[in-house]
Amino acid sequence: MGSFEALGLSEEALKVLKRKGYEEPTPIQVKTIPLILANEKDIVGQAQTGTGKTAAFGLPIIELLNENSKNVQALVLTPTRELAVQVAEEINSLKGKKKLSIIPIYGGQSMEKQLGSLKKGVDVVVGTPGRIIDHLSRRTLKLEAISYLVLDEADEMLNMGFIEDVKRIMKDTNPYKRTMLFSATMPKEIMRIAEKYMGEYELLEIHKGDLTVSLTDQIYFEVSQGDKFEALCRIVDMEEAFYGLIFCRTKIDVDAVANHLIDRGYDADALHGDISQSQREKILNKFKKRQVTILVATDVAARGIDVHDLTHVINYALPQDPESYVHRIGRTGRAGKEGTAITFITPEEYRKLQYIKKSAKTDIRKAILPKVRDIINTKKQRIKTELEDIVKAQPQGQYLEMSRELLTDHEAEEVLAALLQYAFHEELDEKHYTEIEDVAVDTKGKTRLFVARGKKDGLTPGKLVEFIKNKCNIKDDKIKGIQILEKFSFVTLPFQEAEMLLEHFKRNKKGRWPLITMAKERRKK
């Protein structure tokens, strides 16, 4: 890849990077840094979570800021307060010897503290939209003179309903600032905002394969709903040092899975919307310190979690859409380390998985759950290795003494076995695990589709083929069994293609009856 030296950064910045241990720029940094340093255009940057977007804008902005400014020079808007704090910290860590003040401003923090810092003069404000608006209304923050506006994690701001707030804040700025928008995904609404509220901009995209996903091994297991928990335990037990996020769909599921894990002796905790902010911070701290190694969360609660080096992300339940799949798994395999993303699917969810796979342009391969015997053998092997290491390093004197005492009355095998049982209880017992039922998914079938248009709408077989091809890029020879009737029509597609088309219509025609549906379903109504 590139080097930081080639990007046009100052000596001071290069020193800072060396100290931080960043060896080479990430792809989004390679594209963004020279552009921000060189020209005058606005920027729209798309790259997944964990690809170093903060430094991509933070480094060049630091370079461009004036040390003697009396006004706020840059505003970074983030969707959550955790992110505001993290981004402010990261930018601070990049400033080196430059005399710049960078502060986070977010709801929940004391107003006095913020007013104090704002009065002293601030160069970069990193804040959440709500609190920034509070300050603008009180006239305690002035943004008329900013040179840079960064909208960080724009897709999350959109998801969280902050777009109106962002527009409101933009009104208090000036027309000549440079705006930079960063996002992990680029839904249409975001592009529309860019078109409408930004100047001439450069679009920088780092595609999924470029960093995160390529470092993430993606697999799925077919498992019935009732066996998911057992499957989860087996996966965790196979690992030497599992450190991961488990995604569930609802708060109730999150609590249930976390409690189950705790009952079974794992260091797990739960994170969802009903957990108070202070509790959330405590949990995240424990997770960062690895006192908690399994964090069960909903998508919403997991937003803004900035934890690195996860060994696993597990989709206990399938995500809603391909974007959230990419978002979830983007949390493993950061900064050059390989991670594993595991998705559980029930037989009914196979279609949805195919759709996610195609839309996210990613490969998710099928794997077989570890067998109980294999897990136990792995565990035994691990215990042996660890014991041998202790033997090599020589056990502490008081234990040797105890050992001699025990051996005067008993056989060595018995004493050792007793000690292992004492340490591991039923952990090496096959009965500790339950059976997992085999579920097979039929993927070969075809699907008959109902099309809500017929001869009277001018539909012909040729037009229908053309239409289907254009919508989803499906090849001619897969489109079979066309039957055009007066008011409606039928067509048959292979399973996966049918699924794509159905998803397409489900997603694009909200509120109205979809143009194409499954033939059987429609007849039932």
**φ/ψ (deg, to 5) at 285:** -60, -45
Candidate ranges 20-28, 34-42, 407-415, 487-495; the one touching ligand ADP (CB under 6 A):
20-28
Q: With CB under 6 A as the rule, give the number of residues binding ligand ADP.
A: 17
Q: At what angle do helices 53-64 and 11-20 cross, to 10 degrees?
A: 150
Query: At 155, which helix (H) or strand (E)?
Result: helix 154-159
- What does 63 bind: Mg ion, ligand ADP, none (CB cut-off 5 to 8 Å by kind)? none
Of the chain, the end-to-end C-alpha distance in Å amounts to 57
Q: Output 90 or 237, the one with its CB closest to Mg ion.
A: 90
Q: Output 185 or 354, the one with its CB closest to ligand ADP.
A: 185
Instruction: Return the residue of 10, 22, 69, 387 that touches ligand ADP, per CB under 6 A.
Output: 22
Q: Output 304 or 514, the one with its CB closest to ligand ADP.
A: 304
C-alpha 152/C-alpha 141 separation (Å) is 20
- Beta strands 480-484; 489-494: pairing state: antiparallel
Strands (E), 29-69: 42-46
Strand partners, 202: 43
The CA-atom distances, in angstroms, between 76 and each of 149, 306, 417 are 6, 17, 60
Q: Output 53 or 357, the one with its CB closest to Mg ion.
A: 53
Candidate ranges 6-14, 53-61, 213-221, 224-232; the one touching Mg ion (CB under 5 A):
53-61
Residue nearest to Mg ion (CB): 53
Q: In 3D, which of 108, 85, 70, 95 has the Cα closest to residue 19? A: 95
Task: Please give the distance of CA 32 from its chain centroid, rounded to a whole number.
Answer: 22
Q: Output 47 or 141, the one with its CB closest to ligand ADP.
A: 47
Q: Does 53 bind Mg ion (CB under 5 A)?
A: yes
- What does 82 bind: ligand ADP, Mg ion, none (CB cut-off 5 to 8 Å by kind)? none
C-alpha 131/C-alpha 236 separation (Å) is 41
Given the structure tokens 């993430």, which residue do they identify? 216
Q: Does 53 bind ligand ADP (CB under 6 A)?
A: yes
Q: Which amino acid is at 364?
A: I
Least Cβ distance, residue 521 to ligand ADP (angstroms): 40
Longest CA span, the chain: 97
- What does 50 bind: Mg ion, ligand ADP, none (CB cut-off 5 to 8 Å by kind)? ligand ADP
Q: Output 32 or 447, the one with its CB closest to ligand ADP.
A: 32
Q: Per-residue string for binding with ligand ADP, 334-353, x by CB under 6 A?
A: xx------------------
Given the structure tokens 């307060």, which residue do they identify? 81
Instruction: Return the residue of 27, 45, 52, 319 that touches ligand ADP, per CB under 6 A.
Output: 52
Candidate ranges 16-24, 52-60, 68-76, 454-462; the one touching Mg ion (CB under 5 A):
52-60
Candidate ranges 51-59, 108-116, 344-352, 446-454; the one touching ligand ADP (CB under 6 A):
51-59
Candidate ranges 52-60, 202-210, 224-232, 394-402; the one touching ligand ADP (CB under 6 A):
52-60
C-alpha 95/C-alpha 439 separation (Å) is 55
Structure token pair of residue 105: 């401003």
C-alpha 153/C-alpha 122 separation (Å) is 23
How many other β-carbons are positioned within 10 Å of the β-carbon of residue 101?
A: 15
Q: Does 332 bind ligand ADP (CB under 6 A)?
A: no
Candidate ranges 19-27, 114-122, 191-199, 390-398; the one touching ligand ADP (CB under 6 A):
19-27
Instruction: Return the residue of 7, 9, 13, 55 that touches ligand ADP, per CB under 6 A.
Output: 55
Q: Output 25 or 244, the one with its CB closest to ligand ADP.
A: 25
- Residues 370 and 428 sit within 8 Å (Cβ to Cβ): no
Q: Output 25 or 514, the one with its CB closest to ligand ADP.
A: 25
- The 8-class DSSP code of residue 349 comes to G
Least Cβ distance, residue 82 to Mg ion (angstroms): 11
Q: In 3D, which of 350, 343, 335 has the Cα closest to residue 364? A: 343
**φ/ψ (deg, to 5) at 282:** -60, -45
Least Cβ distance, residue 335 to Mg ion (angstroms): 13
**Alpha helices, DSSP H only, in 39-110?**
53-64, 81-94
Q: In 3D, which of 326, 109, 112, 343 has the Cα closest to residue 126? A: 109
Candidate ranges 42-50, 192-200, 383-391, 480-488; the one touching ligand ADP (CB under 6 A):
42-50
Least Cβ distance, residue 62 to ligand ADP (angstroms): 14
Q: In 3D, which of 8, 6, 53, 49 has the Cα closest to residue 27? A: 53
Candidate ranges 45-53, 215-223, 227-235, 462-470; the one touching Mg ion (CB under 5 A):
45-53
- The 8-class DSSP code of residue 275 comes to S
Candidate ranges 45-53, 96-104, 168-176, 437-445; the one touching ligand ADP (CB under 6 A):
45-53
Least Cβ distance, residue 317 to ligand ADP (angstroms): 23
C-alpha 174/C-alpha 104 separation (Å) is 21
**Range 259-318, binding ligand ADP (CB under 6 A):** 306, 308
Q: Does 51 bind ligand ADP (CB under 6 A)?
A: yes
**Range 80-119, binding ligand ADP (CB under 6 A):** 90
Query: At 236, which helix (H) or strand (E)?
Result: helix 228-238
- Residues 34 and 172 sit within 8 Å (Cβ to Cβ): no
- What does 234 bind: Mg ion, ligand ADP, none (CB cut-off 5 to 8 Å by kind)? none
- What does 332 bind: Mg ion, ligand ADP, none (CB cut-off 5 to 8 Å by kind)? none
Structure token pair of residue 213: 């996903």
Least Cβ distance, residue 322 to ligand ADP (angstroms): 18
What angle (nearest 5°) sits at the alpha carbon of residue 358, between those of residues 520 and 235? 100
State the residues that interact with Mg ion by CB under 5 A: 53
State the residues that interact with ligand ADP by CB under 6 A: 22, 25-26, 29, 47, 49-55, 90, 306, 308, 334-335
